[in-house]
Structure 1
Amino acid sequence: MATILNIETATKNCSVSIAKDGVTLVLQELNDGNYSHAEKLHPFIQQVVEEAKISFNDIDAVAVSKGPGSYTGLRIGVSAAKGLCFAFDKPLISIETLYSLAHKATVDNGVIVPMLDARRMEVYAAVYDSNFNQLREIKAEVIDENSFQEYLSEGKVYFLGDGTEKCKEVITHENAVFIDSKHPSAKEMAQLSYDKYKKNDIEDVAYFEPFYLKDFVVTPEKKR
């Protein structure tokens, strides 16, 4: 038996859930097109705990989406998760963002490519089979007409995530299927975090850092 607080802030979707034994009990999320995590995350955490009719001491672990994704979003989510773990002496569980996103796709065959928007024609992407076994590591890559050809030539490839918007006009292979599911959610984290909890697959709260994949780059302001 385990009650887990799940936090997902890697994209514009600010998402929090309370799950028990892998089943989501309460979900609170907002994607208004902006990064509103700084204002919304802590109220959402308080709301899901209250709606689940539990206290923070009743939570057995805190799970957080580890990235890749928005540098600021990940930093806010991880900081909140670590703060709760320190305050209430709870274990910290991390979930790969793309792995969680892949679980929005339910397919019988082919491969799943979750992708998150990066800069210009670049995405963060990974490749999984229909059983969610990872076939290729996570990469930051520029998308062109030759992207994922080795998988497209063998069968259906299911693309999902907010990175797909820039790919639809470029990846035109007949085996390409674009799923209208754009953002990872704390809902899909429920079973994944429970699976890790049962294996005691936890992080060192003091030293855990998000998986940014790329260094944070500050774009200098243009001179007028």
Structure 2
Amino acid sequence: MNILAIDTSGPVAGVCILQGGEIAYEAAAVNKLTHSVNLMPMVEEALSRAGIDIADIDLYAAVVGPGSFTGVRIGVSAIKGMAHGAGKPCIGIDALEALASSVCMTDAMICPIQDARAGQVYGAAFTQGMPPVRVLDNMAEKLPDYLTKVLTITPADQKLCFIGDGVKPFKAAIEQELGDRAIFAPAHLAYLRPSAAAMLAWHKKEEACDYLSLMPMYLRAPQAERMRQSKLEAEKA
């Protein structure tokens, strides 16, 4: 089975091709161009390097969030279009689950966190496995509220391993709250690897759907909508 996986949910655009459960090609890029400009040339390069044609792809995978609203829409729309054109199935990949899958050989509670801005994180909790075993659903919360929820399901003697781009801005606060119970994944794992998304697609291929069923995962309303709602509430007050 050939799988094409893409991630545009964060600042790094990524593409991976999996062949028979093994990585045939992987690339990620950060530059001044938008994901909408970068993505299709990256897909074309991936196919060329893997030595296959778009018609050879059996399953299309997109990271559906949580993450950048615009970025997620770009990736989901691209995969929906390719899957529709090819008449092939697609699958949505949870960004937090993909981050958690990058942590291995640990007994710690795996806590993927992304910087959701406005003092919030997108977070969840997993134990190790492939796919990771979910123990806490995705959420958008202030860091203290997220940590409280994680601690309620974590044994007192278990460490917590944090991974994701939320580590850098919130590391000091996490250490202050958890002390030596907090451990952190290497910095190079802060951003989701497209191969992690591709491997999850391989392991969860039975969950594939048609292009019409592939939808973005938003944990909160876009900023413009939140500002509009706040304005309406202020006018009513």
Q: TM-score, normalised by structure 2?
A: 0.85
Instruction: Report if aligned partners of 1:122, 1:142 keep a CA contact under 8 Å in 2.
Output: yes
- Letter paired with 1:24: I
State the partner residue of 2:221: 215
Offset, 1:96: 0.9
Aligned residues: 216
Give secondary structure in 1 for the equivalent of 2:161.
strand
Instruction: Report if aligned partners of 1:14, 1:36 keep a CA contact under 8 Å in 2.
Output: no
1:149 paired with 2:151, answer yes
Instruction: Report if aligned partners of 1:4, 1:59 keep a CA contact under 8 Å in 2.
Output: yes
- With over 3 angstroms needed to count, the CA separation of the structure-2 counterparts of 1:41 and 1:130, relative to structure 1, is same
**Which deviates more, 143-152 or 106-115?**
143-152
Offset, 1:31: 2.6
1:104 paired with 2:107, answer no
- Letter paired with 2:42: F
2:34 and 2:121 map into 1 onto residues whose CA distance is 22
- Letter paired with 1:196: K
Offset, 1:108: 2.7
- Letter paired with 1:11: G
Offset, 1:22: 1.9
Q: Decide which of 164, 179, 183 is 1:177's aligned counterpart.
A: 183
Identity of matched residues, %: 29
Give secondary structure in 2 for the equivalent of 1:144.
helix
Instruction: Report if aligned partners of 2:123, 2:146 keep a CA contact under 8 Å in 1.
Output: no
- Letter paired with 1:74: V
Q: Which has the higher helix share?
A: 2
Residue by residue, what CA displacement relative to the aligned partner does 1:118-171 show, whole Å, maximum 9, x if unpaired? 013210001001232111111101013982434373311000100112221111
- Letter paired with 1:98: L
1:207 and 1:62 map into 2 onto residues whose CA distance is 13
State the partner residue of 2:73: 75
Structure 2 residues not aligned, in runs of 5+ = 229-237
Give secondary structure in 2 for the equivalent of 1:169.
helix
State the partner residue of 2:58: 60
State the partner residue of 1:47: 45
2:146 and 2:202 map into 1 onto residues whose CA distance is 38
State the partner residue of 1:204: 210
2:174 and 2:145 map into 1 onto residues whose CA distance is 5
1:159 and 1:118 map into 2 onto residues whose CA distance is 15
